[in-house]
Amino acid sequence: MKNRQLGPFSVSAIGLGCMNLSHAYGAPVTAEQGESVLLRALDRGVTLFDTAALYGFGANEELVGKVLSKHRRKFTLASKCGMTGVDGKRVIDGRPATLKRTCDEALQRLRTDVIDLYYLHRWDKSVPIEDSVGALSDLVRQGKIQTIGLSEVSASTLRKAHAVHPITALQTEYSLWTRNPEIAVLQACKELGTAFVAFSPVARGYLTGTLRDVATLDPKDIRRGMPRFSPESYAANLRLLDGLGAIARDAGCSMAQVALAWLLHQGEHVIPIPGTTSRSHLDEDLEAADVVLPAEILARLDALMQPRAITAARYNAQSQSEVDTEEF
């Protein structure tokens, strides 16, 4: 597995987003299946594992801690605070006292003394970003976390935060069908020496070409509430996949692999973290690190998947109000 730099850490060029094992896409997998995927990733050379307090309201951190704590020296551990489950409901709370308390709780679930990269999962807009990052910098001084990250924020918010404490990584959605980071934040990360961690790099399954009918989604699948996955919008977006499939065939790889390889070609500071519940899909994703795309293929991908070609927004109004990202 090729490596990329994440602040002081050298990590696998493709990490693993662990959310799918416990959260968001219907019923979570069994503990045995989750363990199988995590250990397969470790065996395949993945050295960046990404979780959060929100995922399964603590269950994902517990799973990662139970399975991987005995291998703690082999990987970089990332988790997130500031958006958690409280009494069965999702709550955004960036107050310093809350962040410090939830860090202690996360350390227990993860069965570790220190979290390598701790993100503010959402900026609580009722709290100045400087205050939330200040609390995280206290955790660095206390030795409970090593570095600080931000999720779903704009370039201007990143710069404000970075002035308080160096921001090691910024995480937001980035893929061929979500190009918003190209407006400003991708370049801001490059200027500041901040790694850009791309979540949902295969567009929540869309770019794999395997999800053809959104009516088959689990009733509790979060995609049912996303505008791009409404039946009408998804039908329109499906029309792009024939072209994507043709490009992938010409590149000699799968659609998921061409999508991940395209991200890796967007800059050495870009690190995708696909998630999966399948060992075979995991293997497919990781093999994308070895895919080299010629300029002609990159140009065809860029022309096909322009923002104006995508039907509907990525978030509904409520979810959009909770993020701070630039939007086309």
| Active site members | 55
**Helices 255-264/295-304 angle, 10° precision:** 100
CA-to-CA distance for 197 and 38, rounded, in angstroms? 19
Q: How far apart are the C-alpha atoms of 43 and 23, rounded to whole Å?
A: 24
Is residue 18 within 8 Å of 55, Cβ to Cβ?
Answer: yes
For residues 67 and 49, give the distance between their C-alpha atoms in angstroms, rounded to a whole number.
Answer: 12
d(CA 176, CA 157): 24
Burial readout 191-226 (b: 16 or more C-beta within 10 A, e: otherwise): ebebbbbbbbbbbbbbbbbebeebeebeeebebeeb
Residue found by looking up tokens 């770019």 in the block? 207
Q: In whole angstroms, how large is the CA radius of gyration of the chain?
A: 19
| Residue that has been written with the tokens 């493709």 in this structure | 14
Contact predicate 111/69, CB 8 Å: yes
Task: Indicate if the alpha-carbon torsion angle 219, 34, 284, 16 is positive or negative.
Answer: positive
In a 3-state reduction of DSSP, which class is residue 89?
Answer: strand
Closest CA to 21 of 67, 45, 55: 55
